[in-house]
Amino acid sequence: MPGAFGTQFADQMTVANFADGEWTHHDLQPVESMPMHPAAHVLHYASECFEGLKAYRWADDSVHIFRLDKHIERFRNSAAQLCLPVPSPGLIENMIWTAVDAARDVIPPLPSALYIRPALFGTMPNIGAAGRPADQAMFFVLVSPVGSYFEADKTLRIYVESKQMRTTPHFGQVKTGGNYAAALAHVSKARDRYGADQVLFCPGGDVQETGAANFLLLRDGALLTKELDGSILPGVTRDSLIRIAQRKGWETEQRSFQVEEMLRWVGDGAEAGLSGTAAVLAPVGTLVFDDREAKVNGGQAGPLVACLREDLMAIQSGQTEDPFGWTHSI
Ligand SMILES: *Cc1c(COP(=O)(O)O)cnc(C)c1O
């Protein structure tokens, strides 16, 4: 069983640099401190984006990455929004597989996995370039053996933030460190003041997502989550759960909804979950407001969250056939 999420790394990672209009051939390098100029663009102007995906070791010892193409597409979109040089799909795929292949021996058995963290950032040494894109950049793929992110069966306490925004309306779809920095003070406050695990951002009452996971409401045969309008991250787990629910014949709705409607669903016995690569689908037990609390499914982990999570994990781990073509191996 690996240590705390994100603290343990394979010995090697893949690295490529962008300069003079092109990417250098990438290399496997030891995971160690990297020299960086103190004027590097990312350190001043936050030109950075990343991805998070997983490789699983199946029972027959083969290694599979879940929805690699979808993560590559999102990474390229993030890079473009940050005006960073956009690596080709082939380069990204090659660097991911090279890093995963080099770590083959340290990929833990199921239900643990190898978490894959590609990151891209501007290295141009110029503090005068606040309003200009970085024309030098680094792209690496770091890999990390991980167990599960949340304790099984523990339900989450979620603070409902009805005023503050997680990020700007158009940047919500970009997987960038800056969005986490922008949300951090709100998340810390909710943890200190309300003992909350996460913050559900609902600016002006519009139920969006938490700092690092999408938010889903589930009731018998129905799923409700916000539509992709640029303000939320297009989660690959979110998309996968919607498609699994549709295949089961559930009614799935992607649309805007308000805090009052969320509370009506919860009052009618709905379950709620947070979805993401690390958490898969984690049950919400309590919604916390400034002056009161609302229990979700009596504060207990419910059967609908468990059912969707198990269906998804069975595909990821090769325990059932994959009707969607989501798992890729070499
Ligand atoms: C990464 C992330 C998610 C989850 O995306 P997955 O592709 O499901 O891992 C959700 N919200 C935010 C803000 C994220 O950064």
What one-character-per-residue DSSP string does 83-96 give?
Answer: T-----HHHHHHHH
CA distance 148 to 278: 7
Tokens 């597989």 label which residue? 97
| Per-residue pLDDT at 2 exceeds 80 | no
Residue 255's pLDDT band, with cuts at 50, 70 and 90, is: very high
CB 255 within 8 A of CB 227: yes
Measure the CA–CA gap between 330 and 52, rounded to whole angstroms: 19
Rounded to whole angstroms, the Cα distance separating 161 from 173 reads 19
CB of 270 sitting under 6 A from ligand 1: no
Q: What is the mean pLDDT of the chain?
A: 96
**pLDDT-based confidence at 152, cuts 50/70/90?**
low
Query: Ligand 1, from 74, 176, 277: best to mutate by most atoms within 8 Å of Cβ?
Result: 277
CA 228 / ligand 1 centre spacing (Å) = 12
Q: Residues of the chain with pLDDT > 70: what percent?
A: 98
* pLDDT, average across residues 102-129: 96
Whether the per-residue pLDDT at 149 is higher than 80: the answer is no
Protein residue with its CA nearest to atom 15 in ligand 1: 212
What does the pLDDT look like over 214-231, one tens digit per residue?
A: 999 999 999 999 999 999
Share of the chain above pLDDT 90, in %: 92
